[in-house]
Amino acid sequence: MSVLNTFSLEGKIALVTGGAGLYGRQIVEALAEAGAKTFIASRGIEALEAVAQKLRDRGYDVTAMHLDLSLDASIEKVHADIIKQCGTCDILVNNAVTRSAHDGWAHDLDAYDISLHVNASALFKITYLFAQNMKAQKSGSIINISSMMGIVGVEMDNYLGTDMMPDPSPIYFFEKGGMINFTRWAASVLGPENVRVNCLSPGGYEAGQPAPFIAKYSARTQLGRMANDTDLKGAIIFLASDASAYITGTNIPVDGGYTAK
């Protein structure tokens, strides 16, 4: 087989949680362009349907589904519906995230638990369910979308001269760092069944932030810029496809060199 053919996802079934956000849209687009029948799922079904329709208009097979990661029954239904319709799922991209308790450190336990319920507990459950099907077919790729903020501490100098991050919260840094080590754990237990689990840690996406922040953040990277609307696509296809058949348990920063500087 030609090495270029190993990047093809023709005949593969993929699920992306989330899918309408800045990084989610390019993840979905990349999987569809590579040939996968792609499902996208979150609570914001109208936004997902708009993404799906744009890709269907281009000839790709993309379906939006409702998913509430705070509810066991909703996770179980999405899993059951995909398996009933397609028989399996070859690629799971855990991309969805909730933003509870992100406004500072002073929260009670319930506020933190709302975030952890979705960003940690639901991650464990949905990965487990789809991993059972992957184990049965002795193949599959699970990709967790973390963040460069799961690798480093907060750099307050980036926010000088703006009203961004006036009171930083630990929750996102905690959850994204935990996702990276969950990736290693899941790769350990699923590897014997030829199910690979990897993580991508994107850097900041330029999306109309204040000019001082963009300048400071960009200077902090080795490439001198923030991410754009295509920067994650190649890494997603690499990890989803047979091109990375001997790679598991790894975390790849897609951050323009921010965490290497």
- Quick: pLDDT tens for 158-175: 999 999 999 999 999 999
Query: Any idea what DSSP says for residue 206?
Result: P
Backbone φ and ψ for 251, nearest 5 degrees, come out as -120, 125
Of 209, 116, 208, nearest to 158 by C-alpha is 209
> For the segment 43-89, what is each residue's pLDDT rounded down to a tens digit?
999 999 999 999 999 999 999 999 999 999 999 999 999 999 999 99
> For the segment 199-208, what is each residue's pLDDT rounded down to a tens digit?
999 999 999 9
Q: How many CA atoms lie within 13 A of 58 on its CB side?
A: 13
Determine the Cα–Cα distance for residues 45 and 43; give it in Å rounded to an integer. 6
From the options 3.40.50.2300, 3.30.470.10, 3.40.50.1360, 3.40.50.720, give the CATH code of 3-260: 3.40.50.720
What number is the average pLDDT over the span 185-191? 98
What local confidence, expressed as pLDDT, does residue 1 receive? 82
What number is the average pLDDT over the span 5-20? 97
Determine the Cα–Cα distance for residues 141 and 159; give it in Å rounded to an integer. 36
- Place 23 in a pLDDT band, splitting at 50, 70 and 90: very high
Q: What integer best gives the mean pLDDT of the chain? A: 97
What local confidence, expressed as pLDDT, does residue 104 receive? 94
Determine the Cα–Cα distance for residues 30 and 19; give it in Å rounded to an integer. 11
Determine the Cα–Cα distance for residues 114 and 98; give it in Å rounded to an integer. 9
Catalytic annotation, pick one of 60, 159, 172, 258: 159
Domain residue spans of the chain: 3-260
Determine the Cα–Cα distance for residues 181 and 2; give it in Å rounded to an integer. 33
> For the segment 54-63, what is each residue's pLDDT rounded down to a tens digit?
999 999 999 9
Determine the Cα–Cα distance for residues 121 and 88; give it in Å rounded to an integer. 23
Of 28, 22, 20, 82, nearest to 50 by C-alpha is 20
Backbone φ and ψ for 182, nearest 5 degrees, come out as -60, -35
What local confidence, expressed as pLDDT, does residue 54 receive? 97
> For the segment 89-118, what is each residue's pLDDT rounded down to a tens digit?
999 999 999 989 999 999 999 999 999 999
Estimate to the nearest angstrom the gap between the alpha carbon of 12 and the chain centroid. Answer: 18
Neighbours of 132 (CB within 10 A): 12
Active site residue 159: yes
Pairing outcome for strands 251-254 and 140-145: unpaired
Of 82, 81, 79, nearest to 69 by C-alpha is 79
Q: Helices 122-137 and 72-86 meet at what angle, rounded to 10? A: 20
